[in-house]
Amino acid sequence: MIESKQNSILLKVENLKVSFKGENKQYTEMVKGISFEIPAHTTVALVGESGSGKSVTSLATMGLLPPEQSRISAESKIVFEGVNLLTLSRAEMRKICGKDIAMIFQEPMSSLNPVFTVGDQIAEVLKLHLAMGRKQARARALELLKEVGIPSPETKIDAYPSQLSGGQQQRVMIAMAIACEPKLLIADEPTTALDVTIQKQILDLLQDLQQRRNMSMLFITHDLALVGEIADQVIVMRHGEIREQGAVKSVLEQPQDIYTRALLQCRPQLSQRPFRLPMISDFMQQQGQDWIEKVVTEKPPVQRQRGLKGNEEIILDVRDLKKSFYSRKGLFGKDEFQAVKGVSFQLAKGKTLGLVGESGSGKTTIGLLLMRLQQATGGTARIYGQDILAMSDKQFAQFQRKIQIIFQNPYASLNPRFTVGQILLEPMQVHGIGTNDAERKKIALDLLERVSLPASAYHRYPHEFSGGQRQRIAIARCLTLKPEILICDESVSALDVSVQAQVLNLLQDLQDEFGLSYIFISHDLSVVKYISDQIMVMNHGDIVEIANSDDLYQSPQHEYTQRLLSAIPKGV
């Protein structure tokens, strides 16, 4: 963490109120009169869950709110270097935004233009704001790619976004943002869904750029663990209001507001494994200060025990599993890429196997191979002695009830044209579960209750639910088939910490009640340790280490595992 500095004020937000027009044409206030300052040469973190108003605040600063759908109060001010940005015309804002104030957006793949090379996109910023010529802009773009640590920048400058990894795409976004040497850089969730090692690289890069260029930064995140790594000051928001703000060390070590305390406690910690994770509602609904102090200051009295003893029943036995992808080379040749290089492992009944590794390590490919969504090029995968990879499609269709997958993105994995009831009924109809639709509806309603959703959800559509609620619907859909193995592919990685805690508690409850076995794929090493009995570490398609979760975290044997663990955010 950078030491706090006393500097002149670069940006001052005063009484910011932002409202949005709803379907009933009425405006609802989403940001409710917040005020804060960003000093020069300082990093301020803006923290809160989805819907807290933090991204709306940044978009208002950049002048990017849709005028036909939003309204900013006449009393509000956003003052940058003495100028109220809210009084400027669009043309005047364009001169400032991109040059003096720049923004890194959360999802680089949707922010970068897929039909232009990354070099052209960086050069466009330089031509627009600094009036550089074509050759000069390209030379400067190459320098920027080198500065943000893109490998082989001479080659990558002519690459398209789809040809770069997620971390490299984010570095290109950073290069575009710093191209004109802005005085204020706004980073909106720049590390969400990145591997822990790539996340650390991006954080280190942003911190280094902030120091070398003497710029200020507004760092927006929902993860308080990251704040201590990069920020001088922190602002905690909830429901459009500021709940607490101050120096990072003070807020993280001695939080005064109950909501800040709740955010800190909801996230799984490496030092302990409570039987259930506390949730935001556990804190916010409790009125007694004694209860709050007890939860915050004491370790939970009941710790969940994890690990394998060696005598457990094996439900899944994978041997020498391989997967290769081929691309054309020349006229008749082809190149082979080995995504999974002959891995072998076992899954015990009623236990959780955590699967970790950086992007490209092969962990998601293993999940897809086990679901036969991709065809293995070698090996066996036996459930109760039956090789699911050798079955015909018809045989596997009958066997498929035993193994299901929860995908990472609940927004894309649920059919938007189906109601929740139809989503839950369809797999039961396909697999002949229940004698009629009335019986299936009863099962569906029971499952909605099981995943803490109201019966009224049955007739609603996916877009009417939050991300955490959609993930619970996806879990309920899997449970309709009464599986014995669930593959969780980054199923909590994009969720707020409180929603993440809800889903993890639900998975724990289901495992306790039904004896489910999980393969839990994730890049979040704190979450993996919390929920896993055994952890398998992968790198470039190989297993480099496999051990009981507590043993692996306490004494990792492989250098790659040690590097992964060292990249976990430590906080203050």
Partners of 335 in the beta sheet?
327
Q: 163, 180, 197 — which closes off a domain?
A: 180
Q: What is the pLDDT of residue 279?
A: 80
Residue 71 scores a pLDDT above 90: yes
Give me the number of domains the chain comprises. 4
**166 inside domain:** yes
**188 inside domain:** yes
Same domain, 288 and 333: no
**Which residue range(s) make up the domain with 500?**
314-566
The C-alpha angle with vertex 259 and arms to 471 and 475, in degrees rounded to 5, equals 10
Same domain, 37 and 69: yes
Q: What is the pLDDT of residue 293?
A: 55
Q: What is the pLDDT of residue 284?
A: 76
pLDDT in tens, 498-546: 888 888 998 999 899 889 999 999 888 889 999 999 999 999 999 999 9
Same domain, 39 and 158: no
- What residues contact 427, with CB distance under 8 A and at least 6 apart? 433, 477, 480, 481
Q: 120, 150, 180 — which closes off a domain?
A: 180
**190 inside domain:** yes
Give the domain CATH number at 525: 3.40.50.300
Same domain, 429 and 287: no
CA–CA gap between residue 435 and residue 95 (Å, rounded)? 66
Same domain, 285 and 324: no
Same domain, 204 and 351: no
Same domain, 426 and 469: yes
pLDDT in tens, 313-354: 999 999 999 999 887 776 677 788 899 999 999 999 999 999
Same domain, 263 and 244: no
CA–CA gap between residue 399 and residue 47 (Å, rounded)? 45
Same domain, 121 and 71: no
- Give residue for tokens 């043309």: 91
Same domain, 530 and 553: yes
**521 inside domain:** yes
pTM score, two decimals? 0.83
Q: What is the DSSP secondary-structure string of 467-495?
A: HHHHHHHHHHHHHTT--SEEEEESTTTTS
pLDDT in tens, 92-133: 998 899 889 999 887 776 789 999 999 999 999 999 899 999
**191 inside domain:** yes
CA–CA gap between residue 283 and residue 293 (Å, rounded)? 10
pLDDT in tens, 402-413: 999 998 777 778
**81 inside domain:** yes
Spell out a b/e string for 497-528, using b for 16 or more CB atoms within 10 Å of the CB, else e: bbbbbbbbbbbbebbeeeebbbbbbbbbbbbb
Q: Which of 106-110, 214-218, 416-420, 521-525 has the lowest mean pLDDT?
A: 106-110
Q: 301, 323, 358 — which closes off a domain?
A: 301
Same domain, 222 and 275: no
E-state strands within 330-418? 333-348, 352-356, 378-383, 386-387, 403-406
Same domain, 188 and 125: no
Confidence at 41, pLDDT banded by 50, 70, 90: very high
**572 inside domain:** no
**197 inside domain:** yes
Of residues 7 and 317, the one with the higher pLDDT is 317
CA–CA gap between residue 257 and residue 238 (Å, rounded)? 11
